[in-house]
Chains A and B, each alone.
Chain A
């Protein structure tokens, strides 16, 4: 047994569902390189129990990663009444697109709304900038 894993920062596996948000959309139209678009996009909404398990408070940054990419985003409570441990939500944006698989089964349609990733505390690191 690997005892070191108990000491490492808790890591949570999540399925991420993306969605559209009118405030984020408006921010994009005004300035897609601006702070408002970044603040409304680089955002992951999670179940409060998941945040607690990672020792992350509302508004703290987290590392969200999988084999396709890695981003630092702000974590928030989802505000949904029904608990959804292991399920997280992100607005559709270049940030969520960093994590989308290239697997398409040859049909030309990426799995935009169905992302698997792990989340850990980013310990105060800054949100990823929009650059390629």
Chain B
């Protein structure tokens, strides 16, 4: 296997330095990956399963059934796709157009607004390779990559030697965590951990803006101004600074204005440049956002009507389910019954579900039709967009025993 490196699709980092050993047509050993990546890459050796009403069915029968459900629906929802290749995503967009469907992904209730602002060039951003080579100040804000993107700090943001950072974290990099709890990442940041109360982020941002602008930083929760000024000074001294924005920060803000303003002010006041990167979790959520944006000008929450896309929060998965405006759902690589609040997602149980997923999930168990499909990067290749916007191509490791989600989507489309 020497010299053969594979890509892990376990999270938005798409690590491309993975080596594996095979045994009996399955991945038996995984090197270089984190524990999430190892578990993820060993997943891909299962047999193909298609089910209708929970019972095994021929793939062709299941395709027919799925097409029938979609044809009979007045307003079907297509949801998921954060763990699908660019190629499968484009297929799904085509299908949504053909069906006049509502199309959305998990980004509508996570980092979608930040990716949208990024694609609209509302703030300065950069790639993870830039950070590895040049980054001297990294701020993990409401983000805990040690748990969500396990190799973020070791591969890109803190520990590695970079082209212009040969002395690495010991001397040349400063990692800062701003969070409401002492996460694993916060522990690594040591005395550069700034603990704020839940919901205190907007005030903290405004105080920091004051701090870097030479004013006395104040918060209603009396965060020590001295500490805030210390932080302001580290940020001001940065030559290549990056704020990694996590869900913790996003969920605490009413809108993105304060954080965008902070990045602007830092670009005026700091020695060098400042950037913001959203901590996209699913391996190709950013790809979905970019693909849909290229097609419609929106990153999520759309409804197609005769080829035109309408957009608004009413077309988000959550609002569509709450208002019961959708009457069938095609879920691709996602488990909404597990990841959405039960108070909302219980409405899914009233409409027919078609599920396409490598794993058995709560959603697949409740699905009228289910297809177990190949794990990307293990059983099939393709391309995806890393959390920082870099396109990554990958080859399969194994010969697939099951269809890909792209193949299933194509077959459903043909059967319509």
A interface list, Cβ under 8 A from B: 15, 17, 19-23, 25-26, 29-30, 32-33, 68-69, 80-82, 87, 89, 93-94, 97-98, 100-102, 104, 106-114, 130, 132
Chain B interface residue bracket vs A: 35 or more
B39 touches A108 (CB 8 A): no
User: Given known contacts A30-B39, A107-B313, what 18 new A-B pairs fall within 8 Å (CB)?
Assistant: A19-B181, A26-B36, A29-B10, A29-B43, A32-B359, A32-B361, A80-B182, A81-B182, A82-B195, A94-B342, A97-B341, A100-B343, A101-B341, A108-B317, A109-B318, A112-B341, A130-B362, A132-B366
The smallest C-beta distance from B299 to any residue of chain A, in angstroms, reads 13
23 A-B pairs in the complex with CB atoms less than 8 angstroms apart = A17-B198, A26-B35, A29-B36, A29-B39, A32-B359, A32-B361, A68-B342, A82-B182, A93-B338, A94-B337, A94-B338, A94-B362, A97-B340, A106-B314, A107-B313, A107-B316, A107-B319, A108-B108, A108-B301, A108-B316, A110-B318, A113-B247, A113-B248
Q: Residue of A at shortest CB range from B180? A: A17
Cα separation A73 to B317 with both chains bound (whole Å): 28
> A22-B147, A101-B341 in contact; A108/B251 too (CB < 8 A)?
no
Q: Residue of A at shortest CB range from B195? A: A82
Most buried by B among A33, A68, A108: A108
Chain A proximity mask over B165-207: 1 for CB below 8 Å, otherwise 0: 0000000000000001111100000000001001100000000
Cα separation A43 to B268 with both chains bound (whole Å): 45
Cα separation A38 to B206 with both chains bound (whole Å): 40
A102 touches B198 (CB 8 A): no
Cα separation A87 to B180 with both chains bound (whole Å): 11
Q: In the assembled complex, which residues on chain B have CB atoms less than 8 Å from the CB atom of A17?
A: 180-181, 198
The smallest C-beta distance from B281 to any residue of chain A, in angstroms, reads 8
Most buried by B among A68, A87, A93, A94: A94
Cα separation A93 to B335 with both chains bound (whole Å): 11
Cα separation A94 to B338 with both chains bound (whole Å): 5
> A29-B36, A69-B342, A112-B341 in contact; A132/B247 too (CB < 8 A)?
no
